[in-house]
Amino acid sequence: MIRKLIEKIEQTGAPVVVGLDPSLAFLPQHLIEKAKRRHEEAVYGDDELEIIADAVWKFNRGIVDEIADLVPAVKPQIAMYEQFGIPGLMAYEKTVRYCQEKGLIVIGDAKRGDIGSTSAAYATGHLGSVKIGEKEFPAFNTDMVTVNPYLGTDGVKPFVDACNQFDKGIFVLVKTSNPSSGEFQDRKIDGRPLYELVADKVMEWGAGSMDGEWSNVGAVVGATYPAMIAELRVLMPRTFFLVPGYGAQGGTAEDLKLAFDKDGLGAIVNSSRGIIAAYKKDTYAKFGAEHFAEASRQAVMDMIADIGSVL
Amino acid sequence: MIRKLIEKIEQTGAPVVVGLDPSLAFLPQHLIEKAKRRHEEAVYGDDELEIIADAVWKFNRGIVDEIADLVPAVKPQIAMYEQFGIPGLMAYEKTVRYCQEKGLIVIGDAKRGDIGSTSAAYATGHLGSVKIGEKEFPAFNTDMVTVNPYLGTDGVKPFVDACNQFDKGIFVLVKTSNPSSGEFQDRKIDGRPLYELVADKVMEWGAGSMDGEWSNVGAVVGATYPAMIAELRVLMPRTFFLVPGYGAQGGTAEDLKLAFDKDGLGAIVNSSRGIIAAYKKDTYAKFGAEHFAEASRQAVMDMIADIGSVL
């Protein structure tokens, strides 16, 4: 799968992934009003969560239609759907399917991780398929997924197995972009920070799932800690990075330059709010809420140019 | 919420939680056959995942009906539902509602955790409710949920806030029960294992959500590491423990005795496979697959007696 992602990065010239994280606050009012009207006419219920989920789906579809030719991948954050319960997760699934039909690689930002047998169930649900009799039934079937390493090898291994069995990829949390990520991740063990020990394990897990030059087992490394990105890029030469924290969280193009190798490869940078809620920013306000998707398109083009300028 | 849990433990005399983790392999064949027949008659689809989810729900209901008077709480592992996609998650939600109607406290074993704004969305989906206009719409609405601490304070804080706002509880992973939990959790930082540093933070987070003598912010501490349980019990005097690993994973009643304080309080012990798949064990085979739920009832009574014998 990582080879497929790299090919698409090269085709588009954009090491950029758009985070589809539809907070309630990002949804334009006209989409909610339209969803309400559709539900008044429908027979199958008028639950507010269904109305919001419907608006979420239309919001995503609008954005995806405008950006699908510009970027290789999208990263829906499943929490933003899970908060709306079952209707929200139905919008998640619909979004995953739609993006894949449009040729985008879908990275499910799920940060799952548990004891072995339980991680196997997560891997089945998000990357694999349930085997019933002789037939296979996929559930969410995203292309890649993020994984939490706190439980160690037996909690991550089932995801690696799924990478090999179904040609999928994962990104394991190594150094996250949030302000308190250092509380545990930066603490020194035998003179080295915990995130480096996690990095060692990520390489070990990844060695069993090479896909060309790079491994299907990637790492999440936050743009907000540039010195650590640089150090991890050297430490992990065959590990692809998913880099959150650009834009709204404060990471700049200059900060994340060091996530890339000398060929300009090795990383894909995420932006969520900065793209999907672009129409709410002064820079793109001229588009107006009705044209939120065009604002997102412009914001993606600007982000690609910004990152391109440092590579 | 922790006070409510303790009251129910005292009422039932059972510091025991039943893990509702319905693997495909645990479902009795007759439930699957019945679900198939119902779906042939139904108009709304014949997807295999819906059939399995229907069997899962009937399996859970059968067990809950037999055990609801014996135990204070259940702990559905959401991964086991997520693997079956949307139909699986609908069975999860149905199970949560049914258990709550039966008076059981429901601990959603979700091990969620992310950056602040994302953890807030998880807390909304699992413990709180979405605010739309002036009204509140709960989604999964479990009573307690497990949380992963790898991202530090800002990833956990939104769950603590939800505890305070909605009278809920959480259990943060401190020392997990799986074989490779020591890979990171046991590594020494300034002479102390990482799990102790996490324990320090759990106490700090928990101080802001006291509910009587104990905090709504509990800890997951595996029964498979008895020496560490003993040490953590002393270190964390006001932190309630959720103890997985009893039975199928190898932890014995003797091992987990030290999870309790001198009053026999302070912990609740989980068993999943050992209870819900009891009918597959030699000891309970006499019940037969048709009577899986009675086998579970007997297994719960035996577990309560076993744990009672060491307290």
- ipTM of the complex as predicted: 0.97
Q: Give the SS3 label for residue B144.
A: strand
In whole angstroms, what is the distance from residue A107 CA to residue A123 CA? 13
What was the pLDDT predicted at A42?
Answer: 63
What was the pLDDT predicted at B184?
Answer: 98
Chain A residues whose beta carbon lies within 8 Å of the beta carbon of residue B184: 149-150, 152, 194, 197-198
Contact A55, A26 (CB under 8 A): no
| Strands (DSSP E) found in chain A | 16-20, 73-76, 105-112, 129-132, 135-138, 144-147, 169-175, 188-189, 192-193, 210-211, 214-215, 217-221, 241-243, 267-271
Buried b (16+ CB within 10 A) or exposed e, B183-194: bbbebebeeebb
Q: Per the CB < 8 Å rule, is B21 touching A118?
A: yes
Which residues touch A24 (CB under 8 Å, ≥6 apart)? A52, B130, B132
Query: Catalytic one among A111, A157, A280, A281?
Result: A111
Q: Which of B67, B134, B131, B121 has the alpha carbon at shortest distance from B99?
A: B67
Instruction: Locate the chain B residue with the closest alpha carbon to A77.
Output: B118
What was the pLDDT predicted at A129?
Answer: 95
Mutate to test the interface with A, among B27, B36, B148, B205 (most CBs of A within 10 A): B148
Q: Give the SS3 label for residue A76.
A: strand
Number of domains in chain A: 1
CATH classification of the domain holding B65: 3.20.20.70
Q: Per the CB < 8 Å rule, is A115 touching B49?
A: no
Grade residue A223 by pLDDT with cuts at 50, 70 and 90.
Answer: confident
pTM: 0.97
Examine residue A53 and state whether it is found in any structural domain, yes or no: no
Examine residue A56 and state whether it is found in any structural domain, yes or no: no
Examine residue A57 and state whether it is found in any structural domain, yes or no: no
Residue whose structure tokens are 């079937």: A141
Please say if the pLDDT value at position A44 is more than 80.
no
Its domain, for residue A164, covers 2-30+63-308
Q: What is the mean pLDDT of chain A?
A: 95
Q: Per the CB < 8 Å rule, is B121 touching A198?
A: no
Catalytic residues of B, by residue number, are: 111
pLDDT tens, chain B, 311 aa long = 999 999 999 999 999 999 999 999 999 999 999 998 888 766 555 588 999 999 999 999 999 999 999 999 999 999 999 999 999 999 999 999 999 999 999 999 999 999 999 999 999 999 999 988 888 999 999 999 999 999 999 999 999 999 999 999 999 999 999 999 999 999 999 999 999 999 999 999 999 999 999 999 999 999 889 999 999 999 999 999 999 989 877 888 888 899 999 888 999 999 999 999 999 999 999 999 999 999 999 999 999 999 999 98
In whole angstroms, what is the distance from residue A33 CA to residue A38 CA? 9
Distance from CA of A263 to the nearest CA of B (A): 31
What was the pLDDT predicted at B72?
Answer: 98
Alpha carbons within 13 A on the beta-carbon side of A141: 16
Mutate to test the interface with B, among A151, A157, A200, A221 (most CBs of B within 10 A): A151
- From chain A residues 198-217, the ones with a CB under 8 A of any chain B CB are 198, 201
- From chain B residues 113-142, the ones with a CB under 8 A of any chain A CB are 113-119, 121-122, 124-126, 130, 132, 135, 137-140
Evaluate the CA torsion angle A201, A203, A205, A207 in order and state its sign: negative
In whole angstroms, what is the distance from residue A213 CA to residue B214 CA? 53
What tens digit of pLDDT does each residue of A82-121 get? 999 999 999 999 999 999 999 999 999 999 999 999 999 9
Examine residue A47 and state whether it is found in any structural domain, yes or no: no
B12 touches chain A (CB under 8 A): no
Instruction: Please confirm, yes or no, whether A111 is among the known catalytic residues.
Output: yes
In whole angstroms, what is the distance from residue B72 CA to residue B274 CA? 17
What tens digit of pLDDT does each residue of A130-176 get? 988 888 999 999 999 999 999 999 999 999 999 999 999 999 999 99
Q: Per the CB < 8 Å rule, is B180 touching A126?
A: no
Examine residue A209 and state whether it is found in any structural domain, yes or no: yes
Residue whose structure tokens are 């027979």: A43
What tens digit of pLDDT does each residue of A231-280 get? 999 999 999 999 998 987 788 888 889 999 988 899 999 999 999 999 99
Span A213-229, average pLDDT: 95
